[in-house]
Structures are given as structure tokens and as C-alpha cells.
Amino acid sequence: MSTEPIAPAHPTDPIDLGEALGSFEDLWSPRIVTRVNDYDIRLAKVAGDHVWHVHDDTDEFFQVLEGELLIALREEAGERTVTLPRGSVFVVPRGVWHKPSSPRGAAMLVFEPSGTFSVGDRHDEVPDHVDATTGHAL
């Protein structure tokens, strides 16, 4: 798992998310756009499957900027999948096992406490195409 310096808490200029998305190609490898208090605002391109994982102590906020994101959830009542089209948001509550995926590809913002690993506190085996990280500088 990698750790890198975090983005400045308050950039001096506005951030164009389209330009930010165009600055990298890696999938499932979030970039830290900025920080709000002790939270990272992460930008990621995704395609295919992530990994089943859980964040024991924090919720995870997703906003879909492009494409469509699916999030499979393991809840008390059983497994279900939520579909997030472009422009939608969803929060995975702390302690819920989940697996994001995108068959055709998507771009998203994720809000998490700084230092949170992209594969959670517990997870299944991490495939080679998933970057286990606390985020990379943009």
C-alpha cells in the first residue's frame, strides 16, 4: 500500500475537474484534488471491478461525474447492487462490505477522511489492476 504527500488543503486557484481528469489515465488509482478539513476529495477513473472491502470507521461518499458506477453491497438483508448514473451521489455506510464496478467505465469523486486506504480496513485479495493507496497527488 502506498502513501504519498497529500494535496494542499486550499488551492489558490479553482480546480477544473475536466482538466484534472485529463491529467492521468490510471484506473482505480485515486488522485487527491483537494482537502476539506480532514477529508480528501479524490478523483478517480474506473473500469471493471474493484475489490470487496469495508471501511470500519468511516462512511464513503461517491459522486459520479461521467459514465455509470455500480456498487454491490453486503447488507443484513442480503446482497444488492445500486446503480449510480452520471450526476448521482451515494453514501456507503461505515461497516458495510461493498464492491464498486463499472462495466463501461466511469469517473467519480470520493470523499473520505485523509489517510483512508482505497481498499478499506479489510478486503478480499487485491487484483493487480487496483491501486491500494491513500491517494496520489493530482
Q: pLDDT value at position 12?
A: 78
Instruction: Determine the structural domain holding residue 98 and report its residue range.
Output: 26-137
Q: Is residue 4 included in any domain, yes or no?
A: no
Q: Based on the number of CB atoms within 10 Å of its own CB, is 21 exposed (0-12), middle (13-18) or buried (19 or more)?
A: middle
Q: How many independent structural domains does the chain possess?
A: 1
Q: Is residue 7 included in any domain, yes or no?
A: no
Mean pLDDT score, 23-46: 96
Q: Over 80: is that where the pLDDT of 1 sits?
A: no
Higher pLDDT, 20 or 4: 20
Mean pLDDT score, 81-94: 98
Q: Is residue 3 included in any domain, yes or no?
A: no
Q: Is residue 54 included in any domain, yes or no?
A: yes
Which CATH number covers residue 126?
A: 2.60.120.10
